[in-house]
Every structure is written in C-alpha cells, then in structure tokens.
Amino acid sequence: MENGTVITQSDELIQSKPEKVKTPLSEFWRKFKKQKMAMVAATFVLLLIIVALIGPFIAPYSATEPDYDNILSPPSLEHLAGTDAFGRDIFSRIIEGTSISLYVGLTSVFIGAVIGTVLGLLSGYYGGRLDSIIMRICDVLFAFPGILLAIGIIAILGPGLENVIIAVAVFGIPTFARIVRSSTLSIKESVYVESAISIGAPARRIIWKHIFPGTLSSIIVYFTMRIGTSILTAASLSFLGLGAQPPSPEWGAMLSSGRDFLNSAPHVTFFPGLAIFLTVLAFNLLGDGLRDALDPKMKD
Amino acid sequence: MFRFIVKRLFGIIPTLLIVSILVFLFVHMIPGDPARLVAGPDASYEDVELVRQDLGLDKPLVTQYFTYMSGLFQGDLGTSMKTKRPVFDEIADRFMPTFWLTIWSMVWAIIFGLLIGVISATKRNKWQDYTGMFTAVSGISLPSFWLGLMLIQLFSVQLGWFPTGGNDSWTSYILPSITLGAGVAAVIARFTRSSLMDILREDYIRTGRAKGLKENIVVWKHALKNAMIPVVTMTGLQFGFLLGGSIVVETVFSWPGLGRLLIDSVSYRDYPVIQAELLLFAFEFILINLIVDVLYGIMNPQIRY
C-alpha cells in the first residue's frame, strides 16, 4: 500500500519535468566539472593510466639496459631527467615505473576495500555480537600507527612488491569497514529498508540491493583518496628497502638508490620523487573533487 | 568525569591483550629458526637445541606467551640478537630522540596548520584560501623521504645551515621535524578550515559581529574556541601518524631513534626487538587515543558523562 503511493508520487515528479531528467550521474557530472582542480587531476590520472599501459613502447631508452658511457649525467635534451649510476635514462625508468606504482596502489586499495566493505556491511546490518567482534578486530588493526602494520606484515612475509600489496591492503581494511559500517547504520534506519525488511526480503538481498548502493558514494570517495596514500606507503616501503628491489624501476626504490649520490647528482633522487608527488597529488585532488560532488551535504 | 576515565582505562585492556597476543603470534610467524639464528650458522644440532631450551622456545606457545608477558611487566623484554644487549636498554636509548622529534614536529604542524586553516576559512574562496588549501593538499601528497632529502640537499649541502643527519645539537632537529610535521600540518590546516567555516555560520557569530565586535576577536576568540574541539581530536590522532612517519624520516636523517631501530631489526630479523617495538608503538598509540578522548570530554561541555 505504502509502496504504491511512493511510486505514483515519483512518477508524477518525472512527468512534471519531462524535458530534462536529472539522473544522479548527470547531477554528479554537473557538480564535478565545475571544479577545475579536480578536472585537471582527473586528466592527469587518465594520462598516467595511458602511460602505464603503453609505457615500454613510448620510453625513449631502455629502463634496464646499463650505459656505462653515460653515468650520472645531469638532465639534458638527450636525457630529460638525466641518467643514474648505471647510465640508465631516468625519464624512461619513470615512465616504465608508472605501471608499478598504479598497479600497487590500485590492487592494494581494491583488496582492502572489498574486505573492509563486506566487514562493514555485516557489522552494521547485523549488529550485536558480530558487530563487536568485527569492530574489535578493527580496533586492533588501528592500534598500529601509520605504516607500522605494513612493516610488521613484511617482517613475516619478507620484502617484495607482492607482500607490499598485501601489507598495504590490510592497512586499509579497518578504515573501509568503519566508513561502510556507519553509512550502513544510517541507511538501515531509512523507510525503504524498513519496508523491505517488513515484506520479508532475505538479508542478503537487503544488504546488496538496498544498503550497498547507498554506501557506494562514500566508498568511491575514500577509495580514490586511499590510492594516493597507498602509492605513498608502497613507495616508502620500497625506499626503506622492504618493497620493490633495486633493478626494478619502482619510484621509491629508484629514489633510494640515488641517496648515495645526493651531493654529486641530486637529479637521481629529484625526478622519481617528483613523479610520486605529482601522482599522489593528482589522486588526492581527484578524491577531494569526488567528495565535493558526491556529498549531499555540500551545497553549491 | 573520573568515572569516565576509569571506564575508558578498563575499556582498553581487551584491546591491549589482543594486540599483545597478535604481536606475539606475528613475531613467531617470522620465517627462520630463531634458535639457529642465535646459535650461529656453525653451531651443531645439540648447541641449537641447548639455545632453544635456554630461550624457552621448546615450550608450548601459550607458556611462551605467559613467560613473555610476565617478563614484560618486570621490564624484561628479552635480549637483542644483534647486539646481545637487553632489549629494554636498546629501546630506552632510542626513546628520547624519537620522543623529541615527534613533539617538535607536532609544534610546527600545529603552528602552521592552524595559521593556514584560519586564513583559508576567513578568506573563503579568495586567493589566500586557494593558496592555503593547495599547499595543504600538496603537504599531504609529499613523500616525506623525498622532502627530507631535498631539504638536506638545499639547506645542508648547498647552504650549510644545518647538519645532514644525527642529533648532536638543536639545529639537527629543525630539518627532520619540518619533514615529519609537513603532512600533519596539512591535515590540521584542512580540518581547521572546515571546522571554522561551520562555526562561522552559527548565530552567535552573527550576534558578535552585529554588536560591533572586531572581526579578529570574533574569529580568534569566539569562533576558534568551538572550532578547536574536533581539531584537537584530529590532531591527537595524528600523533599515530607521526610515530609511523618517524620510521621513514629517521632513516633519511640517520636519526638514532626507535624508527630506525625497527628497520634495522626487521632486516636483521632481530625478533625480540621487533616484538618489543611493535608492542611499544601500539601501546603508545592506544594511550594517545585515550588521552584524546578524555581531552575531548573536557573541552566539549556538551558531553557529560
């Protein structure tokens, strides 16, 4: 009965303005494209993805082949970012390293987001004992500040890029779980979820069809912001010697190998660091833009 | 209030217990035989077994856990496998340098963060706001190891103003603490801005302005007081970030602190030190969160326990 009324009302709403239907997506795009910084960032991220995909084909030099005639030469027209201690072109190495950083950032956040979201949905929907167990696990994971948890995990698994992904993913689980849990709790109180429960819809259907879509916007915003942090954490771990190992053109590892020549050849550390900085900045600006466009509380 | 503090104190006990069990298991999952590591590569099978008995590693895990915990309460954290010194001494030596580094970073972060945040909020959508917020998001995105190395290159190598590393004098604190504090300053700036902007929309602010108070008094005295409540919470939580960040910054500046000790012990698999450090960092962080919670209650008169 009540459901029927709701449908007719929304039908009327749509019919009253037939010329321009406001879908959530068009509404989002209208708000998002107003933000110039976020648009620039989105373009840059797109560019990074393209570079990551076709990197080896556009790099002017080989990323791994040493050239002993050109050791530590400063930036020039021939070598835009100079060469490293093995004479390898740093610009080419940065281009080839793009796919590593994006891969690590995206996969680790994705794994953390999936596990965290499932935990958050279960915790928020069922409440009770399950909720307190899941939240206690999150408390424990939260008890390790910063990259400490990641370092602890790498201490067990050993150094390496794959283990960095696992470590950074675990590090993201509790935050996703909390965010999803809190939006689950508020959506659970809404009338449409209450009515779905009252007509006896199974829990799995309610969670996936009615609650999960509502939590999606906060997941997307946090997901984007998290990519920047993850790339930064992964690069830090590689810098500390716990992640990607030296011959690999991973940016953090490249930077670390340049430390010994900081006085004579600062460009070896400067350019990989700049690449990390710009990439993380782009994801953070994009995340800010998404938040402002998706958050219903933000007025324009 | 007192009851609240006691309640929260008891509340952290289960978390502490689980953390200690987790760290204990963690460290026991590190591959490699610790008895073999201690005994050395040339030791005979019998020697390794003797060391195993000596370290109590032949006992069941539960017993080992209780032995470790009872040692912990007596200040006995085991012996470092690398230096053969008590882990307690190793950590005690490194504690103060990290402590002061963290405090100084926080001082910078609060000064710059508040300043940028207040300016951005009061000059909303003007160039000051855009500059401030762009600086802040850049601060969050800066890899601290890169910032540190660039600061060393500029101020130590080129200009020779500060030492490149170590902690021999007060000047050696400046570059590492700026490096470590930059990210936190950025977070505080963003948080102060949004919190202050919310408060500046309140009726009592309009009343203050309407009765002719100077804008400076309205902002710094009336608005900031309330705007600070969430900022204090956020700032307190950033201490955890500093603890983690110190690991990287200490490596860059050859700082003789806990962070570098941890990295050294991870590469050496010095598991008693790793275990003690993980516990210490986690305990510190839980304690800071508790203090933040209590402060929040004291500062916010709307909360009564």
What ipTM did this prediction achieve? 0.81
Please give the pLDDT value at position A4: 44
The answer to whether position B218 is within a domain reads yes
Note whether A240 contacts B143, CB cutoff 8 Å.
no
| CATH architecture, domain defined by A24-56+89-294 | Orthogonal Bundle (1.10)
Residue that terminates a domain, selected from B25, B41, B73: B73
B116 and B185 housed in the same domain: yes
Residue B262 lies in a domain: yes
User: Are residue B67 and residue B98 in the same domain, yes or no?
Assistant: no
Where in chain A are the domains?
Answer: 24-56+89-294
Place of tokens 């556009």: A58
| C-beta atoms surrounding A254 within 10 Å | 29
| Whether the predicted pLDDT of B91 surpasses 80 | yes
* The pLDDT of residue A244: 82
Asked if pLDDT for residue B187 goes beyond 60, the answer is yes
Last residue of a domain, one of B11, B39, B73: B73
Tell me if B86 is assigned to some domain. Answer: no
Chain B nearest CA to A61, separation (Å): 25
Give the residue on B whose Cα is nearest the Cα of A230. Answer: B141
Contacts A–B by Cβ distance under 8 A = 129
**Residue A71: predicted pLDDT:** 72
Taking 50 as the threshold, does the pLDDT of residue B59 lie above it? yes
Do B33 and B148 fall within a single domain?
no
Average pLDDT, stretch B221-239?
Answer: 80
Residue B62 shares a structural domain with residue B107: no
Cβ contacts of B286 within 8 Å, gap of 6 or more:
A143, B12, B15, B16, B19
- Does residue B105 fall inside a structural domain? yes
In a domain, B79, yes or no: no
When scoring B134, B149, B289 by the number of chain A Cβ atoms within 10 A, the one with the most, hence best to mutate, is B149
**Do B144 and B65 share a structural domain?**
no
Tens of pLDDT, residues A10-57? 455 555 555 567 777 887 888 888 888 888 889 999 999 988 888 778
Angstrom CA distances, A7 to A12, A114, B219, stand at 9, 33, 48
pLDDT at A279: 93
Q: Are A281 and B138 an interchain contact pair (Cβ–Cβ within 8 Å)?
A: yes
Alpha helices by DSSP H, A127-211: 128-142, 148-157, 161-188, 191-198, 203-205
Task: Take residue B29 and report the two structure tokens written for it.
Answer: 């999952």
Domain range for B189 is 94-304
From chain A, pick out residues whose CB is under 8 angstroms from the CB of B141.
228, 232, 277, 280-281, 284
Q: Low-confidence residues of chain A, pLDDT below 70?
A: 1-20, 146, 295-300
In A, which residues are within 8 Å of B239 by CB distance?
Answer: 145
B251 vs A contacts (CB less than 8 Å): 239-240
Residue B57 above 70 pLDDT? yes
* CA neighbor of B278 nearest in space, from B112, B32, B68: B68
The answer to whether B14 contacts A284, with C-beta atoms less than 8 Å apart, is no
Let me know whether B63 and B99 are in one domain: no
Does residue B89 sit within a domain?
Answer: no
Cβ contact, residue pair A145, B240, below 8 Å: yes
Does residue B103 share a domain with residue B69?
A: no
Using a CB-CB distance cutoff of 8 angstroms, which residues of chain A are in contact with residue B27?
155
Please give the residue of chain A at the shortest CA–CA distance from B152: A262
Residue of A nearest to B244 (CA): A146
Domain boundary among B73, B106, B130: B73
Q: What is residue B54's predicted lDDT score, i.e. its pLDDT?
A: 76
Q: B139 and B58, same structural domain?
A: no
Which has more pLDDT, A115 or B25?
Answer: A115
Domain count, chain B: 2
Does some domain include residue B149?
Answer: yes
Whether B98 shows a pLDDT value over 80: the answer reads yes
Both B40 and B146 in one domain: the answer is: no
pLDDT at A110: 95
Distance CA B119, CA B126 (A): 10
Mean pLDDT of all residues in B102-125: 89
The span from the CA of B32 to the CA of B20, in Å, is 21
Q: Across chain A, what does the average pLDDT equal?
A: 82
> Would you say the C-alpha torsion B268, B271, B273, B274 has a positive or negative sign?
positive
Shared domain for B118 and B248, answered yes or no, is: yes
Q: Does the structure show a pLDDT above 70 at B194? A: yes
